[in-house]
Amino acid sequence: MKKLPRIMMALLLVLVFAAASTVHAEDVSVFPPQDLSTAQKKAMEDAGIPVYPNSIYTTGDDSAATVIWFQAMDPPEKIMDWYESKLSGWSTLIDRGIRVLYKGPKGIEAKKIYAGSHPYIFVSSKENSGEGNDIEITIFLPR
């Protein structure tokens, strides 16, 4: 009978720790959630690119092209599989171990894609950068 209070105390501690972890996991103060601008929404719609489910818009840059970043918790492979299923007319390139999905015919060199002539998407993990293990989705849309 003495074990029952210890078990209940252990369960209570687990629940308290889990609640504290949940609050911390939802804290996005490093990257405050923001809405896409009207121009960014239009650029994504024009390119036919959907927003990955449950991802959070983190930032964007419209200086030379429209570049939009989202944060997600799913593994990069799952996110890229989802984008490949949604963007069936796009091509895939493996560049330095990273899968890049781009709009254009197969076989285009990476440097031509990155030069800004084609829309592209790639996903990377930030776990090695010291910023946590969040996943970053990069969407590049040339003007």
Given a cut of 50, whether residue 28 has pLDDT beyond it is no
d(CA 121, CA 67) in angstroms, rounded, equals: 10
Report DSSP state, residue 3.
H
d(CA 58, CA 68) in angstroms, rounded, equals: 8
pLDDT single digits (tens) 83-131: 999 999 999 999 999 999 999 999 999 999 998 889 999 999 876 555 5
Residue 28 near residue 49 (C-beta atoms within 8 A) = no
Average pLDDT over residues 7-14: 38
Structure tokens at 70: 């989202």
Q: Residue 54 to residues 42, 65, 74, 75, 96: CA-CA distances in angstroms?
A: 20, 25, 9, 13, 27
Asked whether the whole model's pTM tops 0.75, one would answer: no
Structure tokens at 122: 């790639």
> Domains of the chain: which residue ranges?
32-141
Residue 102 near residue 93 (C-beta atoms within 8 A) = yes
